[in-house]
Amino acid sequence: MNEIQTHFRAYADVLFAALAEDENLILQLKGEDSLFLRWNRGKIRQTTQVRQFEVNWTFQKDGRQLELSEQLTLNLESDARRGREHVERLRTQAKTLAASHQLAPVVPAQTSVRIGEVPPRDPARIAAQISAGAAGLDLIGFWCSGPVVRAVAHNRGLFLFESRDAYFFDYSIFTVSEAGENKAVKGFFSEPEWDSDGWAERWGQQLSRQKEDLELLRRPSRRLAPGSYRVYLAPGAVNSILETLKGGGFSALSYRHGQSPLKDLVEERRALSPLVSWTEDFSLGFAPRFNRYGEVPPERVPLIHDGRFSGLLVSGKTAREFGIESNGAEDAGWETEMPRSFAMAAGDLPADQALRRLETGVWINEVHYTNFSDLKTARITGMTRYACFWVENGQKIAPIEDLRFDVSVYDFFGEHLEALTRERQDFADVGTYFLRMWSGTRVPGLLAREFGFTL
């Protein structure tokens, strides 16, 4: 990543030198040098390596603002030539604009550089290690490794740069039940270092533990009638539902545009269970602590505290438009601010007691394709997926046929919420749309009653 840091500095210097006094240019760099291995039936279906470094411009001239995005070639001569052409184009377009009501902040100058280590990534060795552990299993998954980078610079002296190296293997193992149904368990494997001592053993041990659930999944499924059930949502299911809620639920811009699913909570007409506290927490280290404009957020931004509204995520651009204070949130570019390092407070239920406390009901390991069915009432619909079980007397009796749920956040995070687990699980964002995400979430499991299934 030293190469890209040097290039980004030089590229920025060339462009900053071309600016007039009434112009500002904020450059955000997002990049990766990735290896993707796509697995199916224990073999590799597709192999792709991608080196890409996208630079997002916020250009201001005399109070006008335009945005531009392009990919760097890492050839300074061609990147600088194209960059100077962009400056000219944006100057021309700026003449057609009125003064912007969304002018992004030009934050005070500072310099910070954090560079992670780059471990080796020999594709053949990765393939050999994964294959050896998964012999005999119907394994399908996604290996992703290589460095990622985020950086921001502006022509008033700011330079922030952070890179890290990371890998994960996000996978499923399928089996066929005694009744001929396809069933699967979900898995995720990632460690701070690739190929450290004992890596292969730990990978094998994780698969062995999952084989226990696979055995249970071979029992014939229980078909449950639609209705309300007592449920335990494992941390993976809670995380998936929160991913939907993050789409506007904590964004000041979404709220101002009338598109917040938590409008009634923000306006204190509704409350959640006192057990629920949600915080943007950069002390967890899930994401770089600066946004596309170089704003550095507080280490902790309380969003919901003890079930009541505490605050929204506000980017500098939203702050400017609505005359409110920024807390350095990321302007995600989808008309919303999104959490990047999100934590849900733990409860007091020991995770190993969750089955016993559930007593009789549905154990939901994961959910699929969640979406709002009604914003006003914060209703979310989705499907159960992966290793979900019918439980009686604290014992997993049988897998279930997957069910559709349609429930309000105000119910299952509200008066129907009975307990949260003491232990929490971390989820790195495995998203790779356009380029690799860099964010994460820490959540507990959740015990609730009257969880509504509809189909």
Partner 1 sequence: MSQIPFSVATDFAADLPELNAVRREIADATDFVQIRFHRELQQIRAVRNDRLEAPKLVRHQGAMVEVMCEGVLSYAGTADVSRAGLRRALEEARTSARALKPYALHQFPRDVRPPTAGTYESPGMATLKDLSLERVDEILGDANRALNRGPDITQRHAMAELVESETWTISNAGEDRRQRFALWVVDASASAERDGEVQTRSLNGAHARCSQGGADVLDRDELVAACEQAGEEARQLLTAENCPEGNFDLILAPDQMLLQIHESIGHPLELDRILGDERNYAGWSFVKLEDFGHLRYGSELLNVSFDPTLRHEYASYGYDDCGATASREMLIENGILQRGLGSLESQQRAGVPGVANFRSSSWNRAPIDRMANLNVEPGTTRLADMIAQVEDGLMMASNRSWSIDDYRDKFQFGCEIGYRIREGRVVGLVKNPNYRGRTLDFWRALAAVGDRQSFAAYGSPFCGKGEPSQVIRVGHASPHCLFRKIACFGRGS
Q: 240 vs 277, which CB is nearer to partner 1?
A: 240
Contacts of 49 (CB under 8 A, 6+ apart): 34, 35, 36
Q: For residue 39, how many C-alpha atoms fall within 13 Å in the half-sphere facing its CB?
A: 24
Contacts of 216 (CB under 8 A, 6+ apart): 387, 389, 396, 399
Q: 286 vs 453, which CB is nearer to partner 1?
A: 453
Find out whether 344 and 280 touch, Cβ atoms under 8 Å: no
Q: 305 vs 404, which CB is nearer to partner 1?
A: 404
Q: 282 vs 405, which CB is nearer to partner 1?
A: 405
81, amino acid identity: R
Find out whether 273 and 415 touch, Cβ atoms under 8 Å: yes
Tell me the Ramachandran region of residue 180: left when phi exceeds 0, alpha when psi lies from -120 to 50, beta otherwise: left
Q: 20 vs 98, which CB is nearer to partner 1?
A: 98
Q: 215 vs 334, which CB is nearer to partner 1?
A: 334
Q: 112 vs 432, which CB is nearer to partner 1?
A: 432
Q: 111 vs 371, which CB is nearer to partner 1?
A: 371
- Min dist CB 394 to partner 1, Å, is 28
Encoded tokens for 114: 């954090």
Find out whether 344 and 277 touch, Cβ atoms under 8 Å: yes
Find out whether 54 and 47 touch, Cβ atoms under 8 Å: no
- Min dist CB 308 to partner 1, Å, is 18
Q: 379 vs 424, which CB is nearer to partner 1?
A: 379
- Min dist CB 182 to partner 1, Å, is 7
- Min dist CB 179 to partner 1, Å, is 15
Greatest CA span in the chain, whole angstroms?
A: 74
Q: What distance in Å separates the CA atoms of residue 388 and residue 379, rounded to the nearest whole number?
A: 22
CA separation, residue 288 to residues 33, 70, 377, 430 (Å): 18, 21, 33, 16
- Min dist CB 27 to partner 1, Å, is 14
- Min dist CB 422 to partner 1, Å, is 30
Q: What distance in Å separates the CA atoms of residue 100 and residue 68, rounded to the nearest whole number?
A: 16
- Min dist CB 7 to partner 1, Å, is 11
Encoded tokens for 309: 């509204």
- Min dist CB 214 to partner 1, Å, is 15
Q: 67 vs 201, which CB is nearer to partner 1?
A: 67
Kind plus residue range of the DSSP H or E element containing 8: helix 2-17
Going by C-alpha positions, the residue among 375, 126, 129, 173 that lies closest to residue 260 is 375
Distance of CA 411 to the CA centre of its chain: 24
* Exposure string over 205-216, b if 16+ CB within 10 A, otherwise e: eebeebeebbeb
- Min dist CB 432 to partner 1, Å, is 4
Q: 71 vs 360, which CB is nearer to partner 1?
A: 71
Q: For residue 379, how many C-alpha atoms fall within 13 Å in the half-sphere facing its CB?
A: 13
- Min dist CB 52 to partner 1, Å, is 5
Q: 150 vs 183, which CB is nearer to partner 1?
A: 183
Q: What distance in Å separates the CA atoms of residue 283 and residue 330, rounded to the nearest whole number?
A: 16
- Min dist CB 127 to partner 1, Å, is 4
- Min dist CB 311 to partner 1, Å, is 21
Kind plus residue range of the DSSP H or E element containing 160: strand 159-176
Encoded tokens for 152: 């921001």
Going by C-alpha positions, the residue among 125, 14, 7, 137 that lies closest to residue 75 is 7
